[in-house]
Amino acid sequence: MIMIRGFDVKHAPLFIDGIPIAVPYDGYVDFSRFTTFDLSEIEVSKGLASPLLGANTFAGAINLVTKKPTKEFEGEVGAGFFSGNGRTEYINLGTNQGSYYIQASGSKTKRDTYPLSDDFTPVRTINEDGGDRNNAYATDDKLNLKVGFTPNSTDEYAINYIRQNADKGVPPDEAMNLSGRGFWQ
């Protein structure tokens, strides 16, 4: 969760290149699902935001700005590993030919589990036994294709296609028993 001036994302929404990202269920965006490999900057407006961004921006706005190539050919490839048997790979390729540009980006992040501290002692052992957090897997795939036309130094016209898929587990609440019914002591 992100708070700006004491307000959550319902009053300081998220945008990608000025396009609002909405979640129809409850309106809350899960920020941990957004990778940043294809971004050039993150703009945070605190307070008054542009009226072009629409309603519900009285606390501010968060705009994720995707990369735009600056050279005739440029690219970046990376990979990494992290705890929980996690791994990530990404690639960014782009070309800027003066009057037009093309940018293609892809990334994948996968985590099998979430390791708990060795000092962790569960309150109840029905749903959590320590070691690794149960049902804490996550996978995020993202593809970003961007084509832009720049006829002069002041105008730019761009079409951006972003496809993002996420799958994540929901660790069980310790107050739930195996049948899914809650109990209290």
Q: How many of the other CB atoms lie within 10 Å of CB of 79?
A: 10
State phi, psi for 137 to the nearest 5 degrees.
-80, 160
Q: Is residue 180 part of a domain?
A: no
Distance, CA of 95 to CA of 75 (rounded, Å): 9
Does pLDDT of 175 surpass 70? no
Nearest to 68 by CA among 142, 163, 155, 147: 147
pLDDT digits (tens, 9 = 90+) for 67-92: 999 999 999 999 999 998 999 999 99
The predicted pLDDT at position 32 comes to 83
Domain span at residue 26? 6-66
Strands (E), the chain: 14-16, 19-20, 39-46, 60-66, 74-82, 86-96, 100-111, 114-115, 132-133, 138-149, 157-168
Q: Is residue 61 part of a domain?
A: yes
Domain boundary among 66, 91, 118: 66
The predicted pLDDT at position 46 comes to 84
The predicted pLDDT at position 184 comes to 44
Same-domain pairing of 53 and 80 = no
CA angle 18, 21, 23 (to 5 degrees): 165
The predicted pLDDT at position 178 comes to 47
Same-domain pairing of 18 and 76 = no
What share of the chain in percent tops pLDDT 90? 45
Same-domain pairing of 62 and 89 = no
Residue bearing the bigger pLDDT, 58 or 165? 165
Q: Is residue 17 part of a domain?
A: yes
Q: In the structure, what pLDDT confidence band is assigned to residue 66 with cuts at 50, 70 and 90?
A: very high
pLDDT digits (tens, 9 = 90+) for 106-149: 999 999 988 888 887 776 666 777 778 888 899 999 999 999 99
What share of the chain in percent tops pLDDT 70? 88
Same-domain pairing of 61 and 98 = no
Strands 100-111 and 86-96 come out as antiparallel
Q: In what order do the strands lie in the sheet with 86-96?
A: 74-82, 86-96, 100-111, 138-149, 157-168
**What end-to-end distance do the CA atoms of the chain give, in Å?**
30
What value does the mean pLDDT of the chain take? Answer: 84
| Overall domain count for the chain | 2
Q: Is residue 177 part of a domain?
A: no
Domain boundary among 16, 31, 66: 66
Nearest to 14 by CA among 183, 164, 180: 164
